Every structure is written in C-alpha cells, then in structure tokens.
C-alpha cells in the first residue's frame, strides 16, 4: 500500500523569505501523481501544484515549485517570497495512475508566516 | 469559474439521528469523491463515484451510504450518528477517472457536521 509522510508538523518562515516543506512517499507503482494542497484557516482545500511521476522536470506555479526526486521518493514544496496569505496547513497527497484514484494524504505541515 | 458546491455548510445533529450531505460537482465533472477530516487530521477517503457507479470504497462505515445521481450530484447519507462522526466532510470532483489522464480533484468548501 502507498503511504505519504510529512515529517514536519510545523514550520515557520519570515515574510518574504523562502521555505521548503518536505514530503516522502512509498510506492511500488511507476505511474502516479503527486500533489500539494493548501488548507487555510477557512479549511477550504486548495490545490497548489501537481507533479506527474513520468515527468523529470519539476513543476512550478508562480512562487511555488517542487523538488521531485523519484528515486529517493521525495517531493518537497518550495515557497519563495513567502506572504502572510501563505499561512496554512499544507498537505502532500499521492494519487495512483494505475489502480484506484483516491488521494492518499500526508499528515500535513502547519506553515506559520512571521511578519 | 464554477466550483464544487456542498450543502449544508454546517449541520448539528444529535446522536442516533440521520444526516444527508449533498455535493454538486463542477459542471462536466463526472467523478465525485467524499472525504472525512477530523479535527487536526488529514482527510480520510470514504467513497467515490464515476459515471453514477461506485468506483472505490475507503474507510466508510456501514452506517453511511452514498450515491451519485443522473445529474452527477452526490449525496452522503449518514445514519445512527455517533459523536465520533463529528468532522468536516469534503466532496471533491474531477473529470474522468477511467481511460483518461487523472485530472486534479477540486474540493468543495466542506460540510461541518457536529454530533451532540
């Protein structure tokens, strides 16, 4: 079975600085997708970024980018120029491309932005 | 752009009562997922539907049932409610599940269920 691990329960960063959130996963599949979701205090679940396992190029969305290391099964999220609005819980999620399509979630990392 | 709609947004029920949560997916989306998120926890997958058929089942209690209707909206029926059912229930929708690329799941705002 696939698992997702986020080892940082909480991270803090100064506004305008860069922070990296860690995520590792375990799978025997070769076809899969990885996501980062953001959950602010409103508890709305917002998709931040997506990475296809077959793509070597790291995904980027404005200030958000990932470092996808397939062999190491690592999928970290880098947030550049952190803003107060980035404060939220960040969840890493795995989705199979071969079998079932439910999202498998990490435990989440609470990101605190210091003004 | 249209988003996933969930109703009600908040629901308070007593133990042993029943509750029905509704989810209206993004137009053209044919796949619906239900997740349960307890306080301070990550979401737990309950059940999903593709083209009105159940496509996957997770940790959904036998007291719960769900279905997807002809207009693709979905309802989660919860009976004999317990205190432990208090949680945020998310519905997510996506376009296509079988035979095509796995599109992203877009989440609704959730229904906050409180069982007293």
Per-residue pLDDT of A17-41, as tens digits, reads: 999 999 999 999 888 999 999 999 9
> B6-21 as b/e, with b when 16 or more CB fall inside 10 Å?
beeeebebeeeeebeb
Query: Given an 8 Å threshold on Cβ–Cβ distance, is A106 in contact with B105?
Result: no
What distance in Å separates the CA atoms of residue B98 and residue B5, rounded to the nearest whole number? 24
Per-residue pLDDT of A66-103, as tens digits, reads: 999 999 999 999 999 999 999 999 999 999 877 667 89
CB nearest A43 (choices: B58, B102, B110): B110
If you measure CA to CA, which chain B residue comes closest to A106? B42
Identify the pLDDT of residue A112.
98
Identify the pLDDT of residue A101.
75
Residue B101, number of CB atoms within 10 A of its CB: 10
A-chain residues near B109 (CB < 8 A)? 42-44
What distance in Å separates the CA atoms of residue B101 and residue B86, rounded to the nearest whole number? 34
What distance in Å separates the CA atoms of residue A1 and residue A49, rounded to the nearest whole number? 23
Residue for token pair 């693709």: B72
pLDDT band at B102 (very low <50, low <70, confident <90, very high): low
């Amino acid at each position: 079975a696939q698992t997702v691990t986020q080892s940082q329960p909480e991270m803090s960063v100064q506004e305008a600085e860069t922070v990296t959130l860690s995520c590792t996963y375990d799978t025997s599949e070769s076809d899969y997708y990885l996501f980062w979701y953001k959950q602010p205090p409103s508890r709305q679940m917002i998709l931040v970024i997506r990475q296809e396992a077959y793509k070597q190029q790291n995904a980027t969305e404005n200030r958000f980018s990932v470092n996808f290391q397939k062999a190491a099964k690592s999928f970290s999220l880098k947030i550049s120029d952190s803003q107060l609005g980035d404060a939220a819980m960040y969840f890493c999620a795995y989705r199979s491309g071969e079998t079932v399509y439910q999202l498998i979630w990490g435990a989440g990392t609470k990101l605190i932005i210091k003004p | 752009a249209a988003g996933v709609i969930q109703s009600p947004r908040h629901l308070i029920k007593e133990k042993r009562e029943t509750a029905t949560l509704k989810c209206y997916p993004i137009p053209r989306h044919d796949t619906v997922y239900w997740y349960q998120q307890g306080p301070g926890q990550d979401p737990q997958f309950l059940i999903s539907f593709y083209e009105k058929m159940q496509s996957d089942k997770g940790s959904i209690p036998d007291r719960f049932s769900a279905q997807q209707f002809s207009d693709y909206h979905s309802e989660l029926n919860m009976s004999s409610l317990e205190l432990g059912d208090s949680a945020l229930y998310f519905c997510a929708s996506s376009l296509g599940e079988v035979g095509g690329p796995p599109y992203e799941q877009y989440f609704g705002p959730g229904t906050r269920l409180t069982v007293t």
